């Protein structure tokens, strides 16, 4: 089974969201892949909340799916509730979110991975890397049981396990997840090789016995009817959705929690790692938003066959007795019993400016990092990095050109570009506000943007590509019909006046008519038989995409022009190993940042905070542009 004289083409370390996508992508691209995990029963484990998607994260899952990844399919197969968030805002911000059955999610992940014939598994802990004699290239891994596996490329997706420490109050235990050992060895070795490393913190809330909750005191939050799905494939539709529930903290709860601050690892300086600003612990929220009387909490079922519930919004590392006492003063939770307390976890990460856009490390060839090791937080961010690292590890082994998504191509492109060109100073989480081209990068058109590129690269299947092509043809045909079909005043003026819109005086195309804010395709279909017939050829998703394309055509055009401008900057390369300190026309900060982040193009340089438009102009002048 030797490949180029190695045991495997690609070894992936860690079977969380990043590792699973990386292993599946490399294996689907024809590589012999070994996936090493510390515990085969924890493959695809949701260590935090039992949910996928959400604002901007839903876009990431759709994009992973469009590329031929598995997160969307696994999400659909284990979903217990679906909601499209941000419906009250414009379509650029709509984001799908699913509540999942935690156990089923992991089971489906394992099942899908085991269906890939050239993907192999090994249960063990990786404690070090095998390197070439000059220490410039990775050649395999060493495990705790003393085994060595050789490979052409290695992808590290170690999550929160590198040097993991769990904090509950002032008590600490070593762990990568509660009850699971951390991993040592890799950080030390990479630090000695010249990598910069840091500590990050993330937290999780208590899990509660659902039998002890008084649901009559909670607000119910049902899913969408009919429910949507994540995958562009034909996954099974969701039946019998389960509701989530909403409750709130109050001043009494805040007062009890504050009593525990003297024993909080967060406030006593025990935790050195940087925590996520956008997903703060409950003690953090009380301090930062001291004027707020209450904070919203979501009670989320962990699955169909368990009474365990997840208390979203109550992440904490306070002592267990304080958590328990505070819970008793939350409406509906007066008699609640915990299955386990919330805790904080601190772990090692590697600032991601040490990577190329392929997620290969700059210091060691064929070594790739994906997921929380790069300072991100969230399953979706991890999975997105995983699929790109897996694709590029396979490309490296096969001598193919790299697969890189730019900021105007995908949220995945924004995520990776942010990490590599800006680094992180807190756990990175995806937001729609991070993307400049939100109208181009909608959740509904991820397949139209990405499937063809992935198919040409060799990852998305023929069937998936064909499905996308047919969808594109249906939408384009319908858009042609809307711009060519004209309606007369007598056909639509009645409808327009009933909506409070001004009437038309001459024939006008349907697409021009649709630009009116109060009109929609559904209303036109009711009034005009031709629209009804044309719409019958489309499914719900096609109709949505077509309507957005017409109504926002002007804005979409603007974004396309902007993206084109940026693309031209992408084509202006900066000399490799260029000494920026030699350019006196650059600001001192720009010189320092450019030396640290080593951008490859003018555009990457322009993304770095601290590099001003004047610095970019100076660089362009120097390059003779």
What mean pLDDT is predicted for residues 341-367? 96
Share of the chain above pLDDT 90, in %: 76
Whether the pLDDT of residue 598 is over 80: the answer is yes
Highest-confidence segment of 9-18, 261-270, 479-488, 545-554: 9-18
- Reported confidence tier of residue 376, pLDDT bands at 50, 70, 90: very high
What mean pLDDT is predicted for residues 319-341? 97
All structural domains of the chain, each given as residue ranges with its CATH number in brackets, are 207-342 (2.40.30.260), 472-557 (1.10.10.1800), 571-622 (1.10.150.570)
- Reported confidence tier of residue 327, pLDDT bands at 50, 70, 90: very high
How is 99-136 classified by DSSP, letter by letter? EE-HHHHHHHHHHHHHT-TTEEEEES-EEEEEE-TTSS
Beta carbons of 17 and 371 less than 8 angstroms apart: yes
- Reported confidence tier of residue 625, pLDDT bands at 50, 70, 90: low
Token pair in block for residue 369: 């990092």
* Interval 265-289: pLDDT, tens: 877 788 777 777 667 889 989 988 9
What mean pLDDT is predicted for residues 140-148? 97
Q: How far apart are CA 334 and CA 213, in angstroms?
A: 8
pLDDT of residue 365: 98
* Interval 234-255: pLDDT, tens: 999 999 999 999 999 999 999 9
- Reported confidence tier of residue 34, pLDDT bands at 50, 70, 90: very high
Whether the pLDDT of residue 335 is over 80: the answer is yes
Q: How far apart are CA 247 and CA 245, in angstroms?
A: 7
pLDDT of residue 178: 86
Q: How far apart are CA 623 and CA 608, in angstroms?
A: 19
Q: How far apart are CA 527 and CA 521, in angstroms?
A: 10
Share of the chain above pLDDT 70, in %: 99
pTM reported for the whole predicted model: 0.93
Place of tokens 């085991």: 114
- What are the phi and psi torsion angles at 379 (to 5°)? -60, -40
- Reported confidence tier of residue 606, pLDDT bands at 50, 70, 90: confident
Average pLDDT, the chain: 93
Beta-ladder partners of 199: 348
- Reported confidence tier of residue 620, pLDDT bands at 50, 70, 90: confident
pLDDT of residue 230: 97
pLDDT of residue 278: 63
Whether the pLDDT of residue 3 is over 70: the answer is no
Q: Are strands 165-168 and 171-174 parallel, antiparallel or unpaired?
A: antiparallel
Whether the pLDDT of residue 104 is over 90: the answer is yes
Whether the pLDDT of residue 622 is over 90: the answer is no
- Reported confidence tier of residue 2, pLDDT bands at 50, 70, 90: low
- 10 Å CB burial of residue 397 (0-12, 13-18, 19+) is buried
What mean pLDDT is predicted for residues 513-530? 89
What mean pLDDT is predicted for residues 189-197? 96
Q: How far apart are CA 437 and CA 564, in angstroms?
A: 11
Helix (H, G, I), strand (E, B) or coil at 423: coil
């Amino acid at each position: 089974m030797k490949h180029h004289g190695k045991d495997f083409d690609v070894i992936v370390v860690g079977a969380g969201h990043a590792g699973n996508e990386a292993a599946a992508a490399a294996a689907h691209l024809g590589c012999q892949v070994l996936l090493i995990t510390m515990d085969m029963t924890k493959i695809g484990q949701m260590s935090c909340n039992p949910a996928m998607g959400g604002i901007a994260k839903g876009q990431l899952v759709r994009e992973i799916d469009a590329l031929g990844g598995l997160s969307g399919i696994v999400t659909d197969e284990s979903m217990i509730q679906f909601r499209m968030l941000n419906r009250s805002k414009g379509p650029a911000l709509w984001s799908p979110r699913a509540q999942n059955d935690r156990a089923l999610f992991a089971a489906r992940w394992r099942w899908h991975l085991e269906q890939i014939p050239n993907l192999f598994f090994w249960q063990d802990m990786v404690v070090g890397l095998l390197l070439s004699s000059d220490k410039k290239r990775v050649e395999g891994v060493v495990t705790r049981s003393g085994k060595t596996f050789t490979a052409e490329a290695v992808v590290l997706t170690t999550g929160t396990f590198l040097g993991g420490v769990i904090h509950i109050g002032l008590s600490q235990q070593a762990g990568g997840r509660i009850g699971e050992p951390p991993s040592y060895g890799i950080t030390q070795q990479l630090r000695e090789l010249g990598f910069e490393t840091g500590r990050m913190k993330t937290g999780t809330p208590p899990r509660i016995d659902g039998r002890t909750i008084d649901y009559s005191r909670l607000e119910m939050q049902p899913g969408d009817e009919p429910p949507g799905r994540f995958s562009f494939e034909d996954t099974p539709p969701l039946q019998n959705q389960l509701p989530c529930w909403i409750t709130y903290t109050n001043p009494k709860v805040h007062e009890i929690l504050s009593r525990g601050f003297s024993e909080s690892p967060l406030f006593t300086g025990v935790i050195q790692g940087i925590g996520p600003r956008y997903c703060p612990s409950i003690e953090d929220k009380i301090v930062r938003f001291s004027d707020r009387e209450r904070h919203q909490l979501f009670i989320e079922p962990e699955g169909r066959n368990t009474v365990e519930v997840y208390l979203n919004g109550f992440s904490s590392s306070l002592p267990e007795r304080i958590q328990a006492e505070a819970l008793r003063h939350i409406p509906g939770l007066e008699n609640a019993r915990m299955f386990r307390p919330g805790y904080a976890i601190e772990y090692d990460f590697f600032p991601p400016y040490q990577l190329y856009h392929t997620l290969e490390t700059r210091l060691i060839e064929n070594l790739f990092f994906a997921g929380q090791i790069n300072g991100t937080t969230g399953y979706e961010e991890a999975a997105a990095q995983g699929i790109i690292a897996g694709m590029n590890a396979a490309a490296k082994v096969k001598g193919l050109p790299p697969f890189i998504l730019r900021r105007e191509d995908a949220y995945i492109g924004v995520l990776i570009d942010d990490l590599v060109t800006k680094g992180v100073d807190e756990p990175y989480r995806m937001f729609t506000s991070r993307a400049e081209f939100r109208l181009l990068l909608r959740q509904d058109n991820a397949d139209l943007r990405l499937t063809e590129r992935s198919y040409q690269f060799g990852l998305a299947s023929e069937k998936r590509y064909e499905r996308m092509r047919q969808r594109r043809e249906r939408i384009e045909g319908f858009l042609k019909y809307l711009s060519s079909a004209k309606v007369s005043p007598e056909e639509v003026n009645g409808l327009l006046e009933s909506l409070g819109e001004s009437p038309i005086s001459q024939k006008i195309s349907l697409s021009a008519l649709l630009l009116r804010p109060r009109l929609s395709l559904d209303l036109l279909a009711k009034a005009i038989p031709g629209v009804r017939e044309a719409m019958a050829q489309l499914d719900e998703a096609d109709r949505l995409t077509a309507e957005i394309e017409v109504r926002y055509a002007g804005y979409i055009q603007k974004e396309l022009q902007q993206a084109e401008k940026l693309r031209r900057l992408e084509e202006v390369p900066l000399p490799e190993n260029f000494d920026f300190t030699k350019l006196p026309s650059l600001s001192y900060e720009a010189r320092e940042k450019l030396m640290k982040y080593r951008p490859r193009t003018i555009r990457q340089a322009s993304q770095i905070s601290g590099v001003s438009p004047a610095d970019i102009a100076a660089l362009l002048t120097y390059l003779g542009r």
